Amino acid sequence: MLSLQHISKYYQTGGNKAYVLNDLSLDIDQGEFVSIMGPSGSGKSTLLNIIGMLDEPTNGYHYFMEQPVHQLKEKQRSALYKQYIGFVFQAYHLIDELTVYENIETPLIYQNIKGAERKALVADMLDRFNIVGKKDLFPAQLSGGQQQLVGIARALIGKPKLLLADEPTGNLNSKQGEEIMELFSKINKEDGVTIIQVTHSEKNAEYGSRIINLLDGRIESTTTL
Amino acid sequence: MLKNYLKTAWRNLWKGRVFNIMNIIGLSVAVACCIMLFLTVYYEFSYDKFHTNLDKIHQLYFTKNGADKVEKSTSMPAPLTPAVKAEYQDIKYITRMGNGGTIVRYGNKQIEESIRFVDQDFLKMFTFPVVKGDNASPLKDLNNVVISEFVATAIFGKTNPVGKSIELNYSGEPRSFVVSAVVKDFPQNSSINFDLLLRFENAPEYQANMKSWDHHDHNVFVQLNDNVKPAVFDARLQSFVKKAFKTTIADMKRDGARPDAQGNVYTLNLLPFAYNHFDTELVGLEGNSVNKTYVMALLAIGIFILVIACINFVNLSVARAFTRAREVGVRKTLGANKWQLLSQFWIETLLVCLFALVLGIVIANFALPGFKATFRSQISMNMLLQPVQLAVITGLFILITIIAGLYPALLMMRYKTVMVLKGTVNTVKPGKVRNILLVTQFSLSSLLIVCTLVTWQQIDYLKSKPLGYSKDEVVSIPVGNSVNGARSLELFRNQLNGEPDVVAVSGAYDNMGSGKDGSTRTSIIGFTYKGHDIHTNIQGVSYDYAKTMGIKLLEGRDFSREFTTDSNAVVVNEKMAAQLGGKNVVGTYLPMDDKKPSLIVGVMKNFHFRSLRSEIEPLTLVLSGYEMNYIFVKVRPQNLSKTFSMIERKWKQTFPNADFQGSWVNENTERQYKAEQRLSTIFISGAIIAIIISCIGLLAISFMIMVQRTKEIGIRKVLGANIAGLVLLLSRDFLKLVLLAALIAFPLAWWLMSKWLQSFVYRIDIEWWIFALAAFIAVGIAFITVSFQSIKAALANPVRSLRSE
C-alpha cells in the first residue's frame, strides 16, 4: 500500500545539512498496524507528516496506492489524500467554532457529499462511538478523551484506507489512552483500516503489529509482534 | 455547503466580536460618508444633463484683452442676437435671456415671481417640456406668457391656466398677458430656473436698448447646427465682432490692449453650456456655479475615507487571521482545498461588509439632514435607487470584499500546515504590507490635518483682517422689491431720527458683503479721460455714507446737503485717484457723462468693498442715478442686540408689507467666505473620521503585536525592565511609522494648500509650525491609541506569559 524509498529530509543551516530523515526506506502493507517509536528529534513526526502528505521530503521516492506521490501535482496529491487518509492529532485539533456533529461532518463537505448522505454517515459514526448525546456540544465542553474520540470519528468519517495518528494518547490519562488504543485495534481488525501511529509509550506501541524504532532519522530496528 | 459556511462564518464573527465590531463601525462610518459625498459629487456632475441638446448649446461671452488684464463678460447688447442670427447660417437656434421680477395679479390673488425674457427658440433649445397648452409655439404672440407647473399651482390652484389672463407689473405699469402654456417644473439640478417666461420684446426699455450696442444686460445662448464645430464657429464670429464693435476695438487699441494669439483684442466666444455648472471664472452665469476643486475635494475625501477603512479592514482581518491559522491548518488536513477555504473567508468578509453597508445606509439616513445643511447639498437617499448608483454600489461592494477578504485569506493559506499544527506560526515577522498600509492611512490623515489647519488659519485671517470700514456696528437692510429705495430710505431715516443709539443712516446701490437677500450688484463704467480709458466701479450712495460706514476721507469732503451741486459730484477712492494721475484730483471734473462732467469733491482711503479674494479696485461714489437697494444704519456699540431689535421693530412699523432682512455687516462679510468655511468643515470632518478609522486599525494592530511579543515582554520584565521603558519600546515602532507617514504627506499638503491659497489675493503664508503641529497631533493620537495596548502588555504578569511556552 505504501512504499518509501531512500527518503531524506534536511534543512540547510549555514554550510551544514541538518538531517531529520536520512535515507530511510519503509514498506507498509494493507491492514497493518504500525507503531513508530523513538526519542525526541528522531524524525517520527516528520516521517508521519511525509506519509500523510502534509510535508514533502527533500529527496526520495514515495508511492501510495500504486501512485508515485513524489511526482504528483498538488491537486492530485490533495485528491489522493482526501480519499484515502485520515489524521488524528495529539492536540485533537477540533475546530472550536463547530459542534461535535459539525466537526465530524466537515470532511464530508470537502468531499462534496450530499446533505442527506452526510446526515446518515455522521449519525452512524455518532452511534458507533456512543457520542450521540454529545453531538450538539462544542469541543470546549468535552473532556480530553471525548475530544480525541471525536477526532478519531472525524478521521474515519471519510472511510480512509490509512489512519495516521501523531501521539494520539499524548494528552490523555492512562485509562482514556487505553480506551483509544482498544478502539484503534478494533478499527484495524474489523474495518481493515491500516494504522500508523507515533507514540512514546511502549505499552501503546504493543497494540500494533509492527514497531519501528527511529534514531537520528534512520530506522534503528523493526520488531514484528 | 453554503449553510455550513454561513454558520461557521457567523460563529467566527461572534467569537471575534470585539474586532468585528470595530471593523464594522469603521467601515459603516466610511460607507455613510462615501454615500453622502459620492452622491453629492454625482449630483453636481448631473447638472443640466437633462437637456437633450446639452452638447450643442453654448453661451456667448466677450473677451476683452485689455492692457493689464483679460476681462470676460457674458452680458450682451440687445441688437446682437438678431444681427448674429442674420449673419450666420450655422446657428440653428438662438435666444436672449434677460431677468426681471414682477408682481403677478390674478383675480384678487397677488404674488411675486421672477421673469425670464426670452426669444421663441428658448423652448426649442432647452428641455423644458410643455405639459399643458400650446406645444408648437408657446411664445408666438407678444402677450403670451409661459409658466411653470409650480407657479401654475400657486396662482391658479387646480383650474387649468391655459388661456387665462394674468396681470404683470414689472415696469411700473400693469400689463395683461395670456397664459399660453404650462411647462414641466425644471429639476433641482438645473442651472436655468424660472417662474414666468415672456417674450424678450417685453423687456423694459427694449426699444431703446435695441438701438444701443453699448448697453449689455442679458445672456445669449445659441444652438449650432449639428455639423458645425464650436471652435470653427468661434473663429468665424470674429469678423462680425470687428464690424459691429469697431469703436470699442479702436478705443481698446488706443489704450494699449494686448491682442491674443489670433491678433484680436475683443472677441465673442462660446462657452459650452455643459461646462456652465463648473465655470466659476466667468461672471454672470446662470445658476450657482460650483468650483470643480470643491467637488473634487469631496470626491478625494470620500476616496480617502474609503481607502482608509478598507486598509483597516485588511489589517483587522489579518490580525484575526493570525489567530485562526490553526483552523486553516486543520481544515486543510480534513481535505479542504484552496478555493473552499477562500470562499469560506470571502463569505465571512461578505457578511461583515453587508452589516457595514446596511449600518452605513442607516447612519447616512440619520446624518443626511445635517450634511445637507452644512454642505448645501441637494441629495436624497432615493438617489441611491437609480440603476447607475445601484450598479456602482454593488460593484464597489464586491470589489472591496474581494480585496479586503482575499488578501488575509491568502496570507493564512501561506502558513505551512505542519507548522501551524505544531503551533510555531507565532514567529511571523511584522508584515511589510501592514506597515505600508499603516503609513498610507496616516499619510492621508496627516494630509487632512494640514488642510484643516491651513483653511482655519486662512479663514481666521479673512475674518480678522481690517477692511478699511467699520463692519461691527453697522446694520445693512435690503430694501426689497415692494418699496421704492430712495423714498423708503428717506422715510426710514426720519423714523430713526432722534433714536439715541443710532449714529447715522445712509443708503447704497450695492451691499457690503453678502446680505440675507443673497444679491450682489456690480456696476462698472468706462470713459475716456485725458486720452486714457478709465474703468471704475460705481457705487450709488446717499448722504452720510462715509460717516455711516466709517470710511476715512483723505482729501476734500463727503457729499453734503449744503451743496445743491452735489447731485453731480463724485467721491473716489485712492485707487481711482491714482488712476486719474494721483495728486490734486479734488476739484477736477470727470467726463463720466458726455453732457455733464462730474466734480470730484473728495478722495477716500481704500477699503475692501469686495471680498478679500480680489484686489481693491477703483471706486467712484455717486449721489444720483442709482437705486437705493440697501439701507445702512450705524449704531452705538452698546446694546447691539437691543438696538437691532429696535431697528427691526421700526422697519416693520414703517413698511408693514416688506420683509425685514437686515443683518450686521460683519455677518455679511463673513458670509462671503461661506464656501471656504464649507471647505474647512469638509476637511475637519474628513480629518476626524479618517483619524478615528485609522486609530481603530492601529488599535487592532497593536493588539496583535502585543500578543506576538508577550513572551519578549515577559522576559524583559524578568530581566528588570520598567513599565515606562516597556511602553516606550512597544510604542516606538508605531510612532516611527506615523511620523514617516506625516513626512510623506507634508509636501503634497503644502502643494495643495498653496494652490488653494493662490485663489486669494490676501492670504497667509504656510508656516513650518503648521506641519510641526500636524505631526504632533498625528503622533500624539497614535501614541494614545497604542498605549492602551502597550500599557496593558507591560503591566501583565510575566509568569503567566512565560508559563504558556
Answer whether B2's CB lies under 8 Å from B337's CB.
no
pLDDT 10s digits, B733-790: 888 999 999 999 999 999 989 988 887 888 899 888 999 999 999 999 888 888 888 8
Mean pLDDT for the stretch of residues B103-121: 87
Residue B62's nearest CA partner among B270, B259, B277 is B270
Contact B11 A89 (CB under 8 A): no
Contact A87 B333 (CB under 8 A): yes
Which cell numbers hold the place of B672?
A: 462671503
- Nearest residue in chain A measured CA to CA from B423: A91
Contact A87 B1 (CB under 8 A): no
- Please give the pLDDT value at position B339: 83
Contact B4 A105 (CB under 8 A): yes
pLDDT 10s digits, B143-180: 999 999 998 998 888 888 888 899 988 877 888 999 99
- Nearest residue in chain B measured CA to CA from A50: B418
pLDDT 10s digits, A161-192: 999 998 888 888 888 889 889 999 999 999 89
- Please give the pLDDT value at position B296: 87
pLDDT 10s digits, A107-137: 888 888 888 999 999 999 999 888 999 999 9
Question: B802 vs chain A: nearest CA distance in angstroms?
Answer: 20
B-contacting residues in A 46-75 (Cβ below 8 Å): 49, 52, 54-55, 75
Residue B472's nearest CA partner among B239, B668, B206 is B668
Q: How far is CA B288 from CA B48, B59, B278, in A?
A: 12, 16, 9
Contact B1 A109 (CB under 8 A): yes
Helix axes B338-375, B17-45, angle to 10 degrees: 50
Which of B2, B326, B333 best tests the A interface by mutation, with the highest count of A CBs <10 A?
Answer: B333
Start-to-end Cα distance in chain B: 37
- Please give the pLDDT value at position B773: 92
pLDDT 10s digits, B650-681: 888 888 777 788 888 888 888 888 777 887 88
Contact B327 A158 (CB under 8 A): no
Residues in chain A: 225
- Nearest residue in chain A measured CA to CA from B9: A97
pLDDT 10s digits, B8-48: 888 888 887 877 888 888 889 998 988 888 888 888 888 88
Which range is least confidently modeled, A170-184, A202-216, B320-334, B500-514? B320-334
Question: A225 vs chain B: nearest CA distance in angstroms?
Answer: 31
From chain A, pick out residues whose CB is under 8 angstroms from the CB of B421: 54, 89, 91, 93
- Nearest residue in chain B measured CA to CA from A53: B333
- On the question of pLDDT at A208 being above 80, the answer is yes
C-alpha B338/C-alpha B301 separation (Å) is 37
Average pLDDT, chain B: 84
Does ipTM come in above 0.90?
Answer: no
Residues in chain B: 805
For chain B, the domains span 67-228, 474-671
Cross-chain CB nearest to A110 (options B8, B12, B335)? B335
Which of A54, A74, A77 best tests the B interface by mutation, with the highest count of B CBs <10 A?
Answer: A54
From chain A, pick out residues whose CB is under 8 angstroms from the CB of B15: 96-97
pLDDT 10s digits, A30-49: 999 999 999 988 888 889 98
Helix (H) or strand (E) holding B329: helix B325-333
Q: Grid coordinates 416693520 are at which residue?
A: B652
- Partners of B656 in the beta sheet? none
Rounded to 5 degrees, what are φ and ψ at B739?
Answer: -60, -45
pLDDT, greater one: B5 or B267: B267
C-alpha B240/C-alpha B462 separation (Å) is 44
From chain A, pick out residues whose CB is under 8 angstroms from the CB of B7: 102
Pairing mode, strands B130-133 and A85-88: unpaired
Cross-chain CB nearest to B418 (options A55, A102, A158)? A55
Cross-chain CB nearest to A110 (options B327, B336, B418)? B336
> SS in 3 state form for B107-139?
CCEEEEEEEEEECCCHHHHCCCCEEEECCCCCC
Answer whether B199's CB lies under 8 Å from B117's CB.
yes
Answer whether B62's CB lies under 8 Å from B267's CB.
yes
Contact A97 B326 (CB under 8 A): no
pLDDT 10s digits, B423-444: 655 545 557 778 888 898 889 8
Contact B418 A49 (CB under 8 A): yes
Answer whether B697's CB lies under 8 Å from B19's CB.
no
From chain B, pick out residues whose CB is under 8 angstroms from the CB of A109: 1, 4
- On the question of pLDDT at B378 being above 70, the answer is yes
Which cell numbers hold the place of A19?
A: 538531517
- Nearest residue in chain B measured CA to CA from A78: B335
Residue A178's nearest CA partner among A154, A156, A204 is A204
CB pairs under 8 A between A and B: 55
From chain B, pick out residues whose CB is under 8 angstroms from the CB of A40: none
Fill in the amino acid letter for B8: T
Residue A193's nearest CA partner among A29, A25, A48 is A29
> SS in 3 state form for B280-293?
CCCCCCCCCCCCHH
Q: Classify residue B560 as exposed, middle or buried by CB count within 10 Å of its CB (0-12, 13-18, 19+).
A: middle
Mean pLDDT for the stretch of residues A51-68: 89
From chain A, pick out residues whose CB is under 8 angstroms from the CB of B424: none
Answer whether B451's CB lies under 8 Å from B687's CB.
yes
Answer whether B218's CB lies under 8 Å from B78's CB.
yes
C-alpha B138/C-alpha B281 separation (Å) is 34
Which cell numbers hold the place of B217?
A: 444686460
Rounded to 5 degrees, what are φ and ψ at B266?
Answer: -135, 115
Start-to-end Cα distance in chain A: 20
C-alpha B804/C-alpha B216 separation (Å) is 87
Q: Grid coordinates 453622502 are at which residue?
A: B36
C-alpha A92/C-alpha A134 separation (Å) is 16
Contact B334 A94 (CB under 8 A): no
Question: B25 vs chain A: nearest CA distance in angstroms?
Answer: 24
pLDDT 10s digits, B185-214: 988 888 888 889 999 999 888 888 888 887
pLDDT 10s digits, B386-427: 888 889 888 888 888 888 778 877 877 777 777 777 665 554
- Partners of B490 in the beta sheet? none
- Nearest residue in chain A measured CA to CA from B7: A98
Pairing mode, strands B165-169 and A194-198: unpaired
Contact A97 B340 (CB under 8 A): no
3-state SS class at B525? strand
Answer whether A134's CB lies under 8 Å from A121's CB.
no
Rg (CA), chain B: 34
Question: B5 vs chain A: nearest CA distance in angstroms?
Answer: 10
Helix (H) or strand (E) holding A74: helix A74-84
C-alpha B486/C-alpha B794 separation (Å) is 78
Q: What percent of chain B has pLDDT over 90?
A: 11
- Nearest residue in chain A measured CA to CA from B421: A93
- Please give the pLDDT value at position B805: 37
Cross-chain CB nearest to A109 (options B4, B330, B421)? B4
3-state SS class at B261? coil
Q: Please give the domain boundaries of chain A with CATH numbers for all domains.
A: 2-95+154-224 (3.40.50.300)
3-state SS class at B50? coil
Instruction: Please list the helix, strand and coil fractions of chain B in percent, rounded to the nearest 5, in that order.
Output: 50, 20, 30
Answer whether B726's CB lies under 8 Å from B793's CB.
yes
